[in-house]
Amino acid sequence: MHYESFSGKLVSLGLEYDLVGYLNCDLASSQYDRNTRRLCEISDFYGLQQLITEPTQITESSSTLIDLIYTNYTDRVICSGVSHTGIIDHSLTYVYQKLSPDFPSKGHSTMSYRNFRNFNREGVSNDISQQDWTCNDSDDPNVLWADRKAKFLNIVNIYAPVRTRRVRSNKAPWINSELKKGMWDRDAAKRKAIKSNDPHDWAKYKLIAKCNK
């Protein structure tokens, strides 16, 4: 599925999401090629923000930013960055986000969350860099992923341990996926109008905002 149609489908479902991967579009280049320009256009249209700001593939003769993390909900982002490991020639990218609990419609429940009170970004970055990410026991990608995920979470749990607390539901049942999509369309139109300052874009935003009152 193409990046554009995939993003559009997620937006239509009213989901919060991240898109992570090696997209082979160099955002560190002083002059974007056609594919990189198109990636930026699609991301701007769907209100996605790219979180990685430093090169992720560095060699003796080149330095490129091609391993990207896009998100449509930046309010939940604690921090993001790059850790230069020696596994492959691509560095490790990461993002820490607040959990989004799904509250029940009535009564009380419990929620799990990470406590960032003593979070130390430099300490996490150093521990990630010093971790041995090799796994010689298997060539199975699922085993490799599980091993690296476990090592990563062991580090995260030191600096942002999981806590549980009792909460009372405050979910508004009238906020359904259709209403969320309307709110997203309105906000996306406003961002586009602010960026372009085009009268046509401002008129489109005002029309969408009026329909979503």
How far CA 196 is from CA of 48, 72, 184, 192, in Å, comes to: 17, 20, 18, 6
Q: Which residues pair with residue 49 across a beta bridge?
A: 71
Task: Name, in order, each residue with C-beta under 8 angstroms of 120's C-beta and a sequence gap of 6 or more.
Answer: 159
Interval 48-86: pLDDT, tens: 899 999 998 887 678 899 999 999 888 888 888 888 765
Structure confidence at residue 1 (pLDDT): 46
Return mean pLDDT, the chain: 80
- pLDDT(87) > 60: no
Task: Name, in order, each residue with C-beta under 8 angstroms of 148's C-beta and a sequence gap of 6 or more.
Answer: 133, 135
- The model's confidence at residue 109, banded by pLDDT at 50, 70 and 90, is low
Round to whole Å and give the CA distance between 30 and 65.
11
Structure confidence at residue 173 (pLDDT): 61
Round to whole Å and give the CA distance between 140 and 23.
23
Q: Which long-range contacts (CB under 8 A, 24 or more apart) does 52-57 make?
A: 52/27, 52/80, 52/81, 52/82, 52/93, 54/28, 54/81, 54/82, 55/28, 55/82, 55/91, 56/82, 56/90, 56/91, 56/93, 57/89, 57/90, 57/91
Model confidence, pTM: 0.49
Nearest to 73 by CA among 91, 100, 52, 53: 100
Residue 177's SS3 state is helix
Structure confidence at residue 70 (pLDDT): 93
Residue 151's SS3 state is helix
